[in-house]
Amino acid sequence: MELLSSNKSFGGWHQRYKHHSAVLNCEMVFAVYLPPQVEQGQRLPVLYWLSGLTCTDENFMQKAGAQRWAAELGLILVAPDTSPRGPGVPSDPEGAWDFGLGAGFYLNATQQPWAKHYQMHDYVVHELPALIEAKVPVTDQRGISGHSMGGHGALVCALRNPGRYQSVSAFSPISHPSDCPWGEKAFSRYLGEDRACWNDWDASLLLAKASERLPILVDQGEQDGFMQDQLKPEVLEAAAKAIDYPLTLRLQPGYDHSYYFVASFIEEHLRYHAQALQQQQP
């Protein structure tokens, strides 16, 4: 871990690091917020935040206002990038913003040339947490959350790895990527044209057969221009109702897809995670 920057924030420290990822075959940057309790020698639970299309770690850390509440609640925040980057990492040949760099979709690609680098699921679920747990004073209690493509990632990470996370939430997640333009474009290239291979990366389909009943909190803005064609929260809700899964889906009147929306409800999400994570501590 090479420290790139360190800024004091609400009595704690926001830090950016660079490291070589063996899983992604490139250099990666991620951000950590260490609440003031860390300087008092406390080990704290950790919340992983997954950002959306075109984003990096900086969008959440600079726009969501999460540090204030993380400092109060005693939560360490970790924000990875949204895709592999650097020399030799392929992107959309036409330079589109919804595929390639900034659009890793938190899955493990099986198709070339993407498979060599685009293994974001293994990076987020295994490699980065192993690094964090070796270098940062976290407990073994993990939560995960995210926005848009990152909301999709958070749900998929939790649903594919029962027992690994003690809390999960999402803002405006891509709930049914197998049946939306963003998801179909990404899945067909990363995973191939066989749609049966897509099922393991679709939150609504994973939820329908979930073995764990980890409660899920989802907030969705009703004025989100992507809700109908790209996000499809109603599909996730229907899957949950069909098996009596503990999903709380809140439709928020007037809110859109932006970080103004995320910032408006991030306190409630952090309190939700803190309650679940702190209850689990010995």
Catalytic residues: 148, 224, 257
Q: How far apart are CA 211 and CA 206, in angstroms?
A: 10
Q: In this structure, which amino acid lies at residue 175?
A: S
144 and 168 Cβ atoms separated by less than 8 Å = yes
Q: How far apart are CA 126 and CA 67, in angstroms?
A: 24
- In 3D space, the residue among 137, 53, 146, 65 whose CA is nearest the CA of residue 100 turns out to be 53
Return the bridge partners of 14, or none.
7, 33
Question: What is the torsional sign of CA 2, 147, 143, 91?
Answer: negative
Backbone angle region of 260, left / alpha / beta, with phi > 0 → left and psi within -120 to 50 → alpha:
alpha
84 and 54 Cβ atoms separated by less than 8 Å = no
Residue 33: what are its φ and ψ, rounded to 5°?
Answer: -110, 120
